[in-house]
Structure 1
Amino acid sequence: MNIFKYFFRSIPEKSDFVSFGKIHISILIVAFIVSYIVIMKMNVNRKFELLVGFILLIQQITLYSWYFTTNYNHLTEGLPLYHCRVAILTLALGLIFKIDFFLNIGAYWGVFGAISALLIIGGDPFTFPHITQFSYFIGHLFLLWGSLYLLFVKKIGMTDIDYKNMLVFTTIFHMIVFVINNKLYSNYAYLIEPPFTINHTFNPYVYAFIVIMVFNLVLTLEYLLINNKILSKLKILGTAINS
């Protein structure tokens, strides 16, 4: 058997990945340990920024090359229209070329997106080993670590203008992707159906609206947490109650 050809095969199979099995738990432990080191031990480091940026960029180029050279669902699955793919690309380019707006998208979308993807696995239907499995975990792990580095080490913050720009960008992105999904019969950004099973059928427009609102709510919580506004409000509330 040609190992290289087998690794990059394109005929779908049944995935053998077990959620919260031994491999999954091991990956989550690595994610947590490195995240702790990044937050607690790391200082601003240009070499680390370039390392994360180039690893993510190579990961994305490899993934898209596979989609388009094998013609495997290249329009319905192979476009950079999932939240994490957008975050990975913007984070990579932002870190390499020092583009602030890209860094903001990568960081603000990346933390929530990476944690969600590492907990709820949405991989392609292939058994181990396969390019998509390595790409999935390498991409989301380095997205997580890069996002945490920007927020906790480099402290890029989130100003009122950043917050408003992110809400506008995120809402417009979702509206455009919703139209694309209906044209391609795809499920980018999970605006058609969630990556997990739910025992309820929503109106497509209602479901898409819920996804958009949830994502904007996450951005709002990030804005409040980054700027310590929740803690401040709790202190004010506590003072009012005590008095």
Structure 2
Amino acid sequence: MNTFNYFFRSIPEKSNFVSFGKVHISILIVAFIISYIIIKKMDVNRSFELLVGFVLLTQQITLYSWYFITNYNRLTEGLPLYHCRVAILALSLGLIFKIDLLSNIGAYWGIFGSISALLIIGGDPFIFPHVTQFSYFIGHLFLLWGSIYLLFVKKISMTNVDFKNMLTFTTIFHMVVFIINNKLYSNYAYLIEPPFVINYAFNPYVYAFIVIMVFNLVLTLEYLLINNKILGSSDSNIQVFHKF
């Protein structure tokens, strides 16, 4: 029981995780190797979709249960308002229930978000082992692999109208989260400050605008690159979803 309580403890400490240390590098190597295998060796596989979907859904349920039960920063950090949390929920439900809209959001948001999160660690202040550390890396690794599978193996895509709708949804999401952040004094979607140190004090509205524009630019680049790749494939491999 003591081990169980220690794993799910809620009193913050100083994290001992070393960015680009041995453990971090090992995780990045595993992320790259499995990503490569998915792209080069995998075919469309319903069992893989369900595995990724249920792992991500279990990870999210565990994380929010911990926030709720321990009351650790329940409102300021425990809501599903970070990019990757939204992407994980969308991807998991999209994969499990074959919902094209959610699969698209999860994959397009997820591939950029997961890579960024795995390179720039934004974990909670706890010493290993702790539930948030397992949740962080399991969530972002499976988000990465699920996104790569959908974009490069299953080859999902969107029409121009679908993509414009996603950009509209993304912009509205950021605007709403910015308001929530100012009400709760939180930093969801990193719209108040970045997950790394910058030696410049931006006007909060200017900074939020920059974050929104950068995120939309990344989505646009993903859309152009991925669709150019798909258009070069045979028609039989193209799956275009029109349900956004």
Bigger drift between 151-160 and 190-199 goes to 151-160
Q: How far has the Cα of 1:157 moved from its partner?
A: 1.6
What secondary structure sits across from 1:157 in the alignment? Answer: strand
What secondary structure sits across from 1:134 in the alignment? Answer: helix
Q: Does 1:222 align with 2:225?
A: no
State how far apart, in whole Å, the 2-side matches of 1:141 and 1:220 are: 23
Q: Does 1:160 align with 2:160?
A: yes
What secondary structure sits across from 1:181 in the alignment? Answer: helix
CA contact (8 A) 1:39 1:148 kept: yes
Partner residue of 1:241?
none
TM-score (norm: length of structure 2): 0.93
Aligned CA RMSD, in angstroms, stands at 1.3
Q: How far has the Cα of 1:162 moved from its partner?
A: 2.2
TM-score (norm: length of structure 1): 0.93
CA contact (8 A) 1:158 1:226 kept: no
Q: Does 1:147 align with 2:147?
A: yes
Q: How far has the Cα of 1:158 moved from its partner?
A: 2.9
Q: What does 1:61-72 align with in structure 2 at a 5 Å threshold?
A: 61-72=61-72
Partner residue of 2:86?
86
Partner residue of 1:41?
41
Partner residue of 2:114?
114
State how far apart, in whole Å, the 1-side matches of 2:151 and 2:30 are: 20
> What amino acid is aligned across from residue 149 of structure 1 in structure 2?
Y
State how far apart, in whole Å, the 1-side matches of 2:228 and 2:91 are: 24
State how far apart, in whole Å, the 1-side matches of 2:26 and 2:122 are: 17
State how far apart, in whole Å, the 1-side matches of 2:219 and 2:159 are: 12
> What amino acid is aligned across from residue 72 of structure 1 in structure 2?
Y
Partner residue of 1:105?
105
Partner residue of 1:200?
200
State how far apart, in whole Å, the 2-side matches of 1:54 and 1:21 are: 30
State how far apart, in whole Å, the 1-side matches of 2:166 and 2:41 are: 29
What secondary structure sits across from 1:127 in the alignment? Answer: coil
Aligned residues: 231
State how far apart, in whole Å, the 2-side matches of 1:226 and 1:117 are: 21
> What amino acid is aligned across from residue 153 of structure 2 in structure 1?
V
